[in-house]
Structure formats: C-alpha cells, structure tokens
Structure 1
Amino acid sequence: MSQSHIFILMIVIPLSFSQSATGKECVCDLKNLDPPFPKDELTKVETAVLKCIGSITSEKMTDLDRLVLGLQQRIKQLEDDVVMLEKANSNLYAAVSLRIIELEFGEIQDLLNKLNRTTSDYHHQGVQAAAQLDDMKGAMVELEKFDKMQVIKKYRENQMKKTLEQCKDELKASSPPPTASPGRCGLGQMVNVAGPRTSSITPYSTSYAYGAWGRDMKPAPGDENKYWLVVLTSSNVYGYYVRQYSTLSTLLLGLGLKDTYISNSNPTTNTIQGPNMVMYSNALYYNCYNTYSVCRFNMTTRAISTVALPSDTGYNNKFPFGHLATSYSYTDMDFATDESGVYVIYGTTSNFGNVVISKIETSNPPVLGQTWKTSLYKITATNTFMVCGVLYATRYLDKETEQIFYSYDTKTNKERYDLKIKFKKMQTNIEFLNYDPRDHLLYVYSDAYILTYELIFQ
C-alpha cells in the first residue's frame, strides 16, 4: 500500500491519542471510535443466498413448462378424438372411442392435479424467496454503512456505465441479413431469435450430452405431429436407433415411444456418427460410420442407401465445429433442411478446411446436387442452419450467449461476417441445431436438453 493511501486511512478513522513520556520513551494509544464490522451478519447473508440459489434451479423451473406443454397437447388430442367420435358411424368404433376418451380424461385430470401441486409449491417457494430477499436487502443496507470509502457506490456507478455501453453496442444494429426474394419462400429479413420457446431435459435425463431431435420436414399424411429423438449412447459419438413420439407432449413426458433400430449395436458400418442429422420424407440423413459418406435410412423398410462426398472431405474430427475452448466431437458433417429440401455442410482440404454446402437430392439412393464453396473456416463456427437457401453460422460468445455471425446466400453467392444476432442458451454447448420451415423454429440439442427457438422475420 502506498504512503498516500495510509495517510487517507488515518484521516478517515476517528482516532484519540494519549501520551506519556518516561525518559526517552513515548507511548501512544490508538482507538477506533467506529463500531466493529459485523462479519457474522455478512456470513448469514452469504448463507441465505446459497440456500436461495439451491432451492431455485433450472431443472425445477422446467417442470412447470413440461406440464403445461403436455396438458396443451393432451387437450388438443382429446378435441381431435371427440371430432372423430362425432363422425363415427359404427357403434363398435364409437364404443372404443368413448373408452379412449375416458382414458384421456383420466390422464388430463392427473396432469391437472400434478400441475396444481407444482404451482402451489412454486407459489410457496416464491413467498419464501421474497421474504428472504427482504431480509437480505435490509442486512445489506446496514452493512453498507461501514463502506466509508464508498467502494460499493463507485462499483455500482461503474456497473451502470458498463451496462449502458452494452446497450449502446446492441442498439448499433448491423446492416440487415440477406433477404430471400418473395418468390423463393415468402419470408422477409431475419431480425431476431426469440426463446427458448420449449425447454426440457430429455427422457434419458443427463445421461447423454450429444444428440438431435425435431420433426420430419416432409411428413407423410397423418405424421405431421410426430417427433423424433436420437441420442449418441456410445462415448457421445455413435447412435444406432431412432426414437419416435406421436406428439411433443409424449416426448416431453417420455410416453408412447417407438424405437426403430438401424443396427443391433455400436458401431457398425451404418451406425450414426456425430450429433448432426435430419429427418426428411420418412428417412434419416446422417454421417455414416467412419466414412465421408451420407447415409439415408428409410424408417419404414429400414433400408440404407449412401452417397459419397468428395474424397478430401473431412471426417473423424478433421474439420469439426468448435470454438477456442473446445471442439464438438465428430461434427465434421452437418445436415440442414429448409423450404427446398436437404443440405449437407462439411469441410474439404481443397477448400482449405472452409465450409462447403451441397444439396442432397432425396432420391433412393440419394445423389449430390449443386455445391457451393464458402470462405468460412469450419472450425471457427459452432453450428449451421439453412433458411430459404441462405446458410447461417453460429459461434460461441460465452456460457450464456450464442451469436449468429455469418451468412452465405446460395442464390447470390454473397457472404457476410458482420451479423450480430444473439440468443440466450440454457446450457453451455449446442451440439445440434436445425431449422424447421413448417413452424419457423430452431430445434436445438444442448447438453442433454432439447429446446426450440423462434426465428423472427421482418
């Protein structure tokens, strides 16, 4: 500590002196007239904060969302079944339908009871938290009286200045992202990402951090509401079956599932490798095990057909997604859907590890269609998705924020690196991300959580 600081401290503290001289000795009594700092009170506040944080967790808060979503889906299903009953001509069919409706009423009542209990618990927890916050606020006001040098006041002023600067930066919007012409898909500029709209841990809990989920982008009649889920059950690298659910609520509640096996174990020639895949026209498209090929798995016949990418395509972690702190294992190939079909995004040595986009013609077997080369170095992005023929890339900003920073328009071949569209994350990493043109949602798999975000168009 410098001499100037010592001098200021001596001036601030009220002191009283008494002197007595005995020969050449001088004795001084130093007395601090301020009361002692109540460190026990500070410890109590810290303990209360830790208890409050422990009682309100993200897992508990998602329970209510899951129940509400499940209830909405069950009520919609009940309405559909009642309509079918009204149209029924057969007495036997009507009797069966009535029994189904009776069971659905029972399930809805169970969900309502659980929702009421959960809501009551949250209300009680909220009242307790509010009381604790009032107590902590009062204690902190008293403790601030000991801040003689106004350190807290200056800290608040600095935080306010920092927040204002951040707001100014966010208001400095970049020029608009590339806009698809109305003739292509009828959407305007993408201006924001809202959400998450859906947030839930998978039915597997936190066992598998890598996976993918979503809907069939071109479903068969009657399958419009189906959802699929794939988790990489072997070392966060391989998967060998697809789990399907009839509705979103059954997925969230872990009910009514159907497993379709690609193979009997991991890994085999046709095993899913990496978390990036899409479902299109009742077929799953993914990176075939240990090759630079695209696999197409027919969900009905279980037949598999393949198409090879260029021989210099990166695979087995040669050109994965990632950021400075880590890379996302076996994400060399990304699959995306938009209004026109299926794409595969990958890197090649001939393009210096930069992103290459290829359209997949969804025939049986599939074939590669038009290809575009970009200047985006693949390892610098964390994920990609397509909207109206425009490729968007995301990057990791911090544990709570992801940013759409790049775009490539396949119609005009124009690239941009100055996009600044941020969205909040529930977990640190995003292992899978894909756009659904039917509902304009991004489907996200993030550290064993499944989420949706809404794309906002001007």
Structure 2
Amino acid sequence: MHLFSAMFLLVMLAGMPGEVQNISQSMEVLDLRTFRDLQYVKNTEGLMKVVDGKLKVASENPRSLNPKGFQEVKDKVNQLLPLLPVLEQYKADAKMILRLREEVRNLSLVLMAIQEEMGAYDYEELRQRVLLLETRLHSCMQKLGCGKLTGVSNPITVRASGSRFGSWMTDTMIPSSDNRVWSMDGYFKGRRVLEYRTMSDFMKGQNFVQHLLPHPWAGTGHVVYNGSLYYNKYQSNIIIKYHFRSRSVLVQRSLSGAGYNNTFPYSWGGSSDIDLMADENGLWAVYTTINNAGNIVISRLEPQSLEILQTWDTGFPKRSAGESFMICGTLYVTNSHLAGAKIYFAYYTNTSSYEYTDIPFHNQYSHISMMDYNPRERVLYTWNNGHQVLYNVTLFQVIKTSGD
C-alpha cells in the first residue's frame, strides 16, 4: 500500500487527523535539516575548489609552495573541518530513513489486513486497533530518544530583520505539523507579533498576519507551545498564555518571588529576568529570586494552568549567564552573550546535579539576545544582533532496542 493511502485509511479509521502526525513530523524534521545542511555543503563548495586548485599546483611544482603558501592551504583546510559533522549527520539521517521505511512497511501490511477485515469489526474495535498502531509508531519515534548535548554546528543565518534585540520561533510541541513562524521585535513594551505561514515566507518577509497582544511583553524569553504564546508581562512577574487561534488570553499567573524589570536579567540586560522555554519534557520557566541570591532557578510548569510542578536551584548566578536553553530536561547555560561565548554549564533536573562544560559555538554577529531549543526540529533558534540564526545540535543518543 502506498504511504499516503495508508495515512488516509488511518485517518478514516480514527476519525482524527492527529493520529498520523508522528510520521509526517519525522519527515518534516528530515526535510528541514537536510535542506539546511545541503545549503551549508553548497556554501563550502567554492572553498573546496580553492583548496583543490592549490594542492594541484603544489603537487605539480612543489618548489612553488613556500611557508606562507603552505600556511594558507592549511588555513583553508581547517575551514573545511566543520563539514565533517554535517556529513556525519547525513549518515545518521540515512539510518533513520531506513528505520522509518521498515516501520511504514510493517504498518502498511497491518493496515491492509485491517482494511480486508473492516466488515468484521464495529467502530470501537477498529478505533482500538488504530490506537495500537499509533502507539507502535510513537514507540518507533521514541527510539531516537533524548541525549546529552555534545556539539553545536556553525550558524545558519535565515534572515536579517528587526532591531538588535528580539525573538523568533516555531511551535515546540511534539507532535505538530504546524509550519508557522512567529517574530517579536524588541525586548520591552512590545505587543506586535508577526505570524508567517511557513519558514520560506519568513525568509522572504511575506504572507504574514499580525497579532496585537492585550498586554505588552518584557524580555525575549517567549515560547510558542501547542498553539499558544507564553510570555512575561511587562513590569511584572506574571506569565501570560495567549492563544493564537482565538486571539485571547487563556490564563495568566504570577511566578511567585521571581525578579522582574531587570532585577535578575542575563548579562545582556533587556528585562530578561524570566525566560520561558520548552523541550521534550514540557514547559519550563528559568528565572531567579531574592531568596535564591540571584542564582538561576528552573521550574517545570503545567501548560494549562501555569502552576509550578517542581523547582530546582542550580546555584549558577544568572547575571553571569549570557543565555540558556533546555534540552531533554537539562539546562545549558552560556557564559556570555558576546563573541567568544561557549556553553559553560549544564544542570540535570533528572538527577539534581550539575557540571561545567566546554562546548564552543560561533557567535557570528557578536550579540545574542535570545537562544532557545526547539525539540520538534532539534535546532537552536537565536536572535543575534538583528539576525535570525539557527544552529544544529549534536546529541549523544542511545538508540533503544525493543527489549529496553
């Protein structure tokens, strides 16, 4: 059975389009990552030709290669080294495609069998079978699992727009087939949110609608999670949940004791006291309080009510942090927002422990005012001195077997 025929049958059986989003999501992730990496390979093609030309000249006439020329060739080769992890990612993606192909093939066989037997079951029995298939597919996707951050790619500049400070994002909820992109320029008193239909539209600055928030925002620590924008209300420690489709505030709640209005910001300031983010484990707030002596506090939030589910004190001073982001329940903190920054500190909520790290990344435009991880795409979104930039991340992952 053709893949799309299988998808259509699954929708008909379940009566809900959301039952088939997992597999389309995996294809979406592969498509986005492959597109970005292909662009990077193309961008290095010219450099590869230069190196190849210099090596040919040197091989034909070794005496022409003086110490200065040798150093130039060596520098060019060093510039090509970041291409290696990109090619490694291609190899990993190829293995993922093979796994998904086998899973789709197995599901298609089961779906054909169900299709032949449809007359023998009532609706509820068929629905239970569909739910079982969905569980199997979800299990397949979960084999990719979470992991520990081990590397960050070179930056990919998507667009240059807006002022020096701001934020941009896509929906972080898993699963989601939503391709919209949101942009929020500035770090205080802003109310204007631009919603683009696709990433391509955002890159071109076209096909967008405007949302005018009922309350202005503070900082750049906003996040879109399952169709709603979560942000810090200006001059307060109140978190607001704004629903895009209904254009209304669904809930707002004070983050008890949290500093605001540049009391405990990141090193770059900008009213960045409260940073909201999401990862594979849910919705988080990163902030600090007077009781915590200005050290970073992590709270996991209930997305519907915004109630705090659990809190951790990391012991890391927030004013010494450039930015931070969550991946798989771990908070990663950079040591600066300026050039030369690196990921310096990691706090593991699953063990309530921490370690100092040394993960470099290229701060291309020398002033990062927003850095957030998107678990749906497994990339870092950053706003860097008026540029919207993406980073691929490398996670150390253990692929689970069926016996785990």
TM > 0.5 fold call: yes
Aligned to 2:370: 432
3-state SS, counterpart of residue 408 of structure 1: strand
Distance (Å, rounded) in 2 between the aligned partners of 1:382 and 1:338: 19
Whichever residue aligns with residue 350 of structure 1, its letter is N
Picking from 173, 194, 198, the partner of 1:243 is 194
Alignment check: 8 A CA contact 1:219 1:280 kept: no
Q: For residues 153-212 of structure 1, what are the alpha-carbon distances to aligned partners after superposition, in whole Å with 9 as ceiling and x for unaligned?
A: 9xx9xxx9xx9xxxxxxxxxxxxxxxxxx999723332110122x31334xx3x411111
Picking from 159, 162, 173, the partner of 1:201 is 159
Distance (Å, rounded) in 1 between the aligned partners of 2:244 and 2:174: 12
Aligned to 2:148: 189
Aligned to 1:310: 256
Alignment check: 8 A CA contact 1:231 1:239 kept: yes
Distance (Å, rounded) in 2 between the aligned partners of 1:432 and 1:301: 27
**Could you tell me how far 1:413 is from its partner in structure 2?**
0.6
Alignment check: 8 A CA contact 2:167 2:383 kept: yes
Whichever residue aligns with residue 199 of structure 1, its letter is T
Aligned to 2:229: 284
**Could you tell me how far 1:402 is from its partner in structure 2?**
2.2
Aligned to 2:241: 296
**Could you tell me how far 1:275 is from its partner in structure 2?**
1.1
Whether 1:211 and 2:211 are equivalent positions in the alignment is: no
Which runs of structure 1 show a deviation greater than 3 angstroms over 4 or more consecutive aligned residues? 182-185
Alignment check: 8 A CA contact 1:238 1:274 kept: no
Q: For residues 264-300 of structure 1, what are the alpha-carbon distances to aligned partners after superposition, in whole Å with 9 as ceiling and x for unaligned?
A: xxxxxx2111111000011111111111111111112
- 1:238/1:219 Cα in 2 relative to 1: closer, same or farther (>3 Å)? farther
| Structure 2: tracts of 5 or more residues without a match | 9-41, 54-66, 79-140, 397-404
3-state SS, counterpart of residue 341 of structure 2: strand
| Residues paired across the two proteins, number | 275
Question: So what's the TM-score if we normalise by structure 2?
Answer: 0.61
Distance (Å, rounded) in 2 between the aligned partners of 1:274 and 1:397: 14
**Could you tell me how far 1:376 is from its partner in structure 2?**
0.3
3-state SS, counterpart of residue 258 of structure 1: strand
Aligned to 1:20: none
3-state SS, counterpart of residue 319 of structure 2: helix
Distance (Å, rounded) in 1 between the aligned partners of 2:364 and 2:292: 34
Aligned to 2:334: 394
Whether 1:343 and 2:316 are equivalent positions in the alignment is: no
Distance (Å, rounded) in 1 between the aligned partners of 2:351 and 2:325: 17
Aligned to 1:414: 353
Taking the TM superposition and a 5 Å limit, the aligned residue runs for 1:30-429 are 186-196=145-155, 198-202=156-160, 205=161, 207-218=162-173, 223-232=177-186, 236-263=187-214, 270-304=215-249, 305-311=251-257, 313-322=258-267, 327-363=268-304, 365-396=305-336, 399=339, 401-417=340-356, 419-429=357-367
Distance (Å, rounded) in 1 between the aligned partners of 2:164 and 2:253: 28
3-state SS, counterpart of residue 220 of structure 2: strand
Distance (Å, rounded) in 1 between the aligned partners of 2:381 and 2:195: 15
- 1:185/1:351 Cα in 2 relative to 1: closer, same or farther (>3 Å)? farther
Distance (Å, rounded) in 2 between the aligned partners of 1:422 and 1:332: 25
Aligned CA RMSD, in angstroms, stands at: 3.5
Q: Which structure is higher in RCO with an 8 Å CA cutoff and minimum separation 6?
A: 2
**Could you tell me how far 1:219 is from its partner in structure 2?**
7.1
- 1:397/1:302 Cα in 2 relative to 1: closer, same or farther (>3 Å)? closer
Distance (Å, rounded) in 2 between the aligned partners of 1:428 and 1:411: 33
**Could you tell me how far 1:257 is from its partner in structure 2?**
0.6
3-state SS, counterpart of residue 186 of structure 1: coil
Alignment check: 8 A CA contact 1:385 1:434 kept: yes
3-state SS, counterpart of residue 251 of structure 1: helix
Distance (Å, rounded) in 2 between the aligned partners of 1:184 and 1:211: 35
Higher radius of gyration, 1 or 2:
1
- 1:246/1:424 Cα in 2 relative to 1: closer, same or farther (>3 Å)? same
Distance (Å, rounded) in 1 between the aligned partners of 2:342 and 2:143: 26
